[in-house]
């Protein structure tokens, strides 16, 4: 997300504390909030996909997605 859009989101949040937002401003704020949350989720997902757990015995294992069943050890 571009910094200018984050700045606009912050500006709308400040305005909301001072006065009621117009319908157009509320719609813009909602759109910017959704875009911001999507960017955060994407960044977190990318970070987790590149995370490796290192066990005390030196074994390295990538994190598995929660929706992917974990295979039991044989």
pLDDT digits (tens, 9 = 90+) for 20-46: 999 999 999 999 999 999 999 999 999
* Cβ(65)–Cβ(45) below 8 Å: no
Residue 72 lies in a domain: no
Q: Is residue 26 part of a domain?
A: yes
CA distance 8 to 49: 31
Half-sphere exposure of 68 (CA within 13 A, CB side): 7
Residue 1 has pLDDT above 90, yes or no: no
CATH number assigned to the domain comprising residue 20: 1.10.287
Q: Is the pTM of this model over 0.85?
A: no
d(CA 23, CA 48): 38
The percentage of residues in the chain with a pLDDT greater than 70, rounded to a whole number, is: 91
67 within some domain: no
Domain that holds residue 12: 3-62
Q: How many domains does the chain have?
A: 1
Is the separation of the CB atoms in 40 and 46 below 8 Å? Answer: no
Residue 74 lies in a domain: no
For 58: left if phi > 0, alpha if psi spans -120 to 50, otherwise beta; the answer is left
């Amino acid at each position: 997300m571009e910094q200018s859009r984050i700045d606009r989101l912050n500006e709308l949040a400040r305005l909301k504390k001072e006065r009621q937002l117009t319908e157009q401003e509320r719609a813009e704020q909602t759109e910017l909030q959704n875009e911001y949350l999507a960017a955060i989720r994407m960044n977190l997902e990318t970070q987790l996909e590149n995370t490796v757990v290192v066990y005390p015995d030196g074994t390295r294992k990538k994190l598995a997605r929660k929706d992917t069943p974990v295979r039991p050890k044989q």
